[in-house]
Amino acid sequence: MATALGTRVFSPKFGYLEDPATGSGNSAFAYYLLMNNYWEGKPIAIEQGSNMIYNTVRLRAENDEVLFGGTATVKISGKYYP
């Protein structure tokens, strides 16, 4: 497995072009890595973002669950009305 991973998640359907740090997208990616034996579940950090602004999502697997957390920069704040 690569020692550095980077992801980007595009979400125009939900009213924004790119999600700058998504736990759900990276968690799905983590399950993919686990299912294909690319990752053993030990803690990893995935950088996400563009334009030299990166956020870090940290992942680990425990008891068949993917746990995520990390740091992010607030880009937009407000309420979402579907």
* Residue 14 in tokens: 């939900």
48: number of Cβ within 10 Å: 23
Question: For residue 43, which of 7, 68, 22, 20 has the smallest C-alpha distance?
Answer: 68
Q: Which residue has the higher pLDDT, 1 or 54?
A: 54
Flag whether 67 is in a domain: yes
Tell me which DSSP letter residue 36 carries.
T
Mind listing the pLDDT tens digit for each residue in 15-69? 777 776 677 778 888 889 999 998 999 998 887 766 666 778 888 999 889 998 8
Q: What is the pLDDT of residue 72?
A: 67
For residue 2, what pLDDT band results from cuts at 50, 70 and 90?
A: very low
Flag whether 46 is in a domain: yes
Flag whether 63 is in a domain: yes
pLDDT at 3 over 60: no
Total structural domains within the chain? 1
Identify any residues that bridge with 69 across adjacent strands, giving them in sequence order: 58
Q: What range defines the domain where residue 60 resides? A: 42-76
**Nearest-angstrom CA–CA distance, 33 and 12:** 26
pTM over 0.85: no
Residue reference for tokens 């746990």: 67
